[in-house]
């Protein structure tokens, strides 16, 4: 197990290196001058402004040097200074990250509760009407754009019953009840839109396990069907479902951008969008980096958990 | 993701030259017999595609024809989906918006397949250090959420149709190269590839004549699986105001922006674009699933 952990952690290094290159290139090397865009946005395009902004962003230095200076600072947790809010980017992100994590954790919970139960049902009743309905539902969840579902939830209850989801954000530790009433609707919607994938994966895994010899043995020795399903089959098919959390992490954060926008949640997605429209590139780069590193570490945690649960994985 | 991932196995795939001349029609017959719902999904998608491509011919009104007299009219025979806050005909806008979505989706999916095939064939066939470096790059690429990568790149490039196609194509192309790589690695070990290598065929010849035809099913699946994802991604971008800029109507932008506040007085504005998105993506996903079941031997017979 120790070997496995060390190998898996070492494998992070090249991934992190390439990830930092991708972030750096996406912002700095794309044609179109970031500085011009930023100044055009604000009608203050004197050449002195341009030079001082360029120097402030460190863009007057050679590209290689820019990369190493940026990466070096990022390694020590220094993500630069926001151009508009005069605050360190790391602080801005630290204020917003908990909201996105809360939304994401609740959404995963919904996705797994809904997805795993429907997936198990669907696999056990393979090729029945219930299975077809469950599979159509999961395909529907894969096909409905989240922002449309959210729009419907905003518009129709308000038109019909004069009810609309709360849009005033309260931090979790100030008033947990009000916080949850606000965050619950987006979390359920985000979770539902992810449940399609969870359901499909659970069903595939479950069908796979149900065909194994030990399931036949369990049935042959006269166990009740419910015991076979829940004690033998489900336990083993849930192990790969653990990886789902890792697979869904990027989807979750991408979805969070849209749901935070619609439901006025002050999370990372909202921060990113504001920064994009204000052309606050240090913030854009910072969010991009934090998102990537978060996903990377979620994946690492999932892989380690998987190695712990399934000894066969460790040897690979 | 992996529930959708086609796996390649050379056992199913005959070399193209041995195929009967009516391979396509016999395949369609098999699709109709074994997967009627999938075929139905394919037909619905093709119909909607044709409608959208002919948008300008079918649309009863000009998409940017504003009129304060007929603003926020409820759906009627004259305006099938009502009118918006500027008096523009929603049905016409949905059709033209669909045209943009479809064209972007097909072009971006095609580009993504080309990128996947090129990257996947190089990494899978040559292996070794080339493969190692490409795979670490793909690893790093995959940790970024699609939408975030899109938002960041579009924020630098500025919104527009060509940028959207290129970025979506690269985004899904790099992610999909894994699947092609896996398929290539299987075919690389087949006797016919080894035989071609032994008689001294060039790598270019082997990739083109032996590998590519034998990974064709994977490539087809990759294409059908991408269309739905690309349509949704483009709609999400437009919704956030980073897609194809106005006044061009897109399904995503029709659900956002200023029109949003009018939905409470005119709820039909909230329905049509989203419903179209859902139907289009649902039908192509149904078709893609059926194709996967037919073309992918590993999953065949499991459902």
* Residue A289 vs residue A52, higher pLDDT: A289
A164 Cβ contact list (under 8 Å, min separation 6): A154, A157, A158
Q: What is the pLDDT of residues B206-241, one digit of tens each?
A: 888 888 888 888 888 888 888 888 888 888 888 888
Instruction: With a cut of 90, say whether residue B115 has pLDDT above it.
Output: yes
Per-residue pLDDT band for A76 (boundaries 50, 70, 90) equals: confident
- A256: buried, middle or exposed (CB in 10 Å: 19+, 13-18, 0-12)? buried
A267 in reach of chain B (CB within 8 A)? no
Q: Tens digits of per-residue pLDDT, A208-245?
A: 888 888 888 888 888 888 888 877 787 777 777 777 77
- Residue in A31, A85, A28, A32 with CA at minimum distance from that of residue A57: A28
pLDDT for B246-293, tens place per residue? 777 888 777 776 667 777 777 777 778 888 888 888 898 888 888 877
| Confidence band of A315 (pLDDT split at 50, 70, 90) | low
pLDDT computed for residue B243 by the predictor: 79
Residues of A in contact with B228 (CB under 8 A): 142-143
Q: In this predicted structure, what is the pLDDT of residue B303?
A: 33
Cα distances from B128 to residues A150, B124, B131, in angstroms, run 47, 9, 5
**Selected residues 51-70 of chain B with any CB under 8 Å from a CB in chain A:** none
* DSSP codes joined into one string, chain B: -TTT-----GGGPPPGGGS-TTHHHHHHHHHHHH-HHHHHHHHHHHHHHHHHHTHHHH-SS-TT---STTTTPPP-SSSTT-B-TT--BHHHHHHHHHHHHHHHHHHHHHHHHHHHHHHHHHHHHH-HHHHHHHHHHHHHHHTS-HHHHHHHHHHHH-S-HHHHHHHHHHHHHHHHHHHHHHHHHHHHTSHHHHHHHHTT--HHHIIIIIIHHHTHHHHHHHHHHHHHHHHHHHHHHHHTT-SSPTTS--HHHHTSTTHHHHTTT-GGGGTHHHHHHHHHHHHHHHHHHHHHHHH-TTTTT--
Would you say residue B9 has pLDDT above 50? no
Inter-helix orientation angle A89-124/A234-262, to 10°: 130
Q: Are B224 and B294 in contact (CB under 8 A)?
A: no
ipTM above 0.85, yes or no: no
DSSP state of A81: B
Q: Which residues of A touch B152 (CB under 8 A)?
A: 26-27, 272, 276, 284, 288
For the cut 60, the answer to whether the pLDDT of residue B302 exceeds it is no
* Chain A residues touching residue B270 (CB < 8 angstroms): 151-152, 155-156
Dump pLDDT digits (tens) for B151-201.
888 877 778 888 889 888 998 899 888 888 888 888 888 888 888 888 888
Specify the pLDDT at position B56.
75
- For residue B298, give both structure tokens: 């590993």
Query: Dihedral through CA B244, CA B250, CA B251, CA B253, nearest 10?
Result: 60
Over residues B63-92, the mean pLDDT reads: 70
Q: Are A283 and A82 in contact (CB under 8 A)?
A: yes
Residue of B nearest to A124 (CA): B303
- What local confidence, expressed as pLDDT, does residue B107 receive? 93
Confidence (pLDDT) at A182: 79
pLDDT of residue B108: 92
Using one digit for the tens of pLDDT, what is the confidence trace for A170-185? 676 667 777 777 788 8
Q: Grade residue B117 by pLDDT with cuts at 50, 70 and 90.
A: very high
How far, in Å, are A159, A237, A249, A289 from residue A76 at the CA level? 51, 41, 25, 13
Q: What is the mean pLDDT of chain A?
A: 79
From the candidates B1, B3, B243, which should be mutated to test the interface with A, based on the most A CB atoms within 10 A? B3
Average pLDDT over residues A25-31: 66
Cα–Cα distances in angstroms (integers) from residue B194 to residues A214, B31, B197, B218, in the given order: 40, 34, 5, 21
Task: Say what angle helices A89-124 and A129-143 make with each other, to 10 degrees.
Answer: 160
Question: What pLDDT score was predicted for residue B2?
Answer: 39
Would you give the DSSP letter of residue A231?
I
Check CB contact of B257 with chain A, cutoff 8 Å.
no
Split at pLDDT 50, 70, 90, the class of B140 is confident
pTM: 0.81
Give Dmax over CA atoms of chain A in angstroms.
Answer: 85
CA-nearest residue of chain A to B133?
A: A14
Query: How would residue B112 be classed by pLDDT, with cut points 50, 70 and 90?
Result: very high
């Amino acid at each position: 197990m120790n070997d496995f952990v060390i190998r898996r952690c070492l494998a992070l290094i090249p991934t992190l290196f390439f990830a930092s290159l991708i972030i750096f290139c996406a912002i700095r090397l794309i044609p179109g001058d970031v500085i011009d865009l930023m100044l055009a946005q604000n009608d203050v395009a004197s050449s002195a402004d341009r030079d001082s902004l360029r120097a402030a962003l460190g863009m007057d230095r050679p590209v290689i040097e820019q990369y190493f200076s940026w990466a070096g600072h990022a390694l020590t947790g220094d993500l630069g200074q926001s151009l508009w809010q005069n605050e360190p980017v790391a602080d801005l992100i630290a204020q917003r990250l908990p909201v996105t994590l809360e939304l994401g954790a609740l959404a995963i919970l919904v996705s797994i509760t809904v997805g795993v139960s429907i997936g198990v049902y669907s696999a056990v009743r393979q090729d029945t009407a219930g299975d077809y309905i469950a599979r159509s539902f999961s395909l529907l969840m894969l096909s409905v754009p989240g922002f449309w579902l959210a729009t419907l939830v905003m518009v129709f209850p308000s038109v019909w019953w004069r009810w609309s989801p709360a849009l005033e954000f309260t931090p979790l530790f100030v008033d947990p009840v009000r916080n949850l009433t606000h965050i619950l609707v987006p979390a359920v919607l985000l979770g539902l839109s992810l449940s399609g994938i969870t359901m499909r994966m659970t069903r595939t895994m479950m069908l796979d396990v149900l065909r194994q010899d030990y399931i036949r043995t369990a049935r042959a020795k006269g166990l009740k069907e419910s015991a076979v399903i829940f004690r033998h089959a489900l336990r083993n098919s849930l192990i790969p479902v653990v990886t789902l959390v890792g697979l869904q992490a990027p989807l979750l954060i991408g979805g969070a951008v849209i749901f935070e926008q619609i439901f006025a949640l002050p999370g990372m997605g909202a921060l990113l969008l504001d920064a994009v429209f204000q052309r606050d590139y240090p913030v854009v780069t910072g969010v991009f980096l934090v998102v990537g590193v978060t996903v990377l570490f979620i994946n690492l945690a999932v892989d380690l958990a998987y190695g712990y649960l399934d000894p066969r994985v460790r040897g690979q | 993701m992996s529930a959708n991932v086609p796996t390649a196995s050379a056992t199913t795939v005959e070399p193209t030259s041995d195929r009967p001349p009516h391979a396509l029609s016999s395949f369609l017959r098999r699709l109709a017999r074994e997967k009627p719902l999938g075929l139905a999904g394919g037909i619905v998608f093709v119909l909607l595609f044709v409608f959208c491509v002919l948008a300008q011919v079918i649309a009863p009104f000009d998409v940017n024809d504003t009129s304060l007299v007929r603003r926020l009219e409820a759906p009627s025979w004259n305006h099938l989906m009502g009118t918006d806050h500027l008096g523009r005909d929603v049905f016409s806008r949905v059709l033209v918006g669909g045209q943009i979505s479809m064209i972007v989706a097909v072009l971006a999916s095609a580009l993504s397949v080309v990128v996947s095939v090129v990257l996947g064939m190089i990494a899978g066939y040559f292996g070794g250090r080339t493969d190692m470096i490409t795979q670490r790059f793909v690893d790093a690429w995959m940790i970024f959420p699609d939408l975030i990568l899109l938002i960041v790149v579009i924020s630098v490039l500025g919104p527009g149709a060509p940028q959207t196609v290129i970025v979506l194509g690269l985004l899904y192309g790099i992610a999909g190269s894994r699947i092609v790589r896996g398929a290539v690695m299987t075919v690389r070990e087949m006797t016919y590839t080894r035989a071609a290598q032994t008689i001294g065929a060039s790598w270019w010849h082997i990739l083109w004549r032996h590998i590519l035809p034998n990974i064709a099913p994977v490539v087809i699946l990759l294409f059908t699986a991408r269309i739905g994802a690309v349509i949704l991604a483009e709609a999400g971008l437009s919704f956030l105001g980073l897609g194809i800029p106005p006044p061009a109507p897109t399904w995503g932008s029709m659900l956002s922006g200023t029109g949003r506040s009018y939905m409470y007085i005119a709820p039909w504005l909230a329905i049509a674009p989203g419903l179209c998105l859902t139907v289009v993506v649902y039908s192509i996903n149904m078709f893609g699933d059926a194709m996967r079941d037919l073309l992918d031997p590993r999953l065949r017979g499991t459902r």
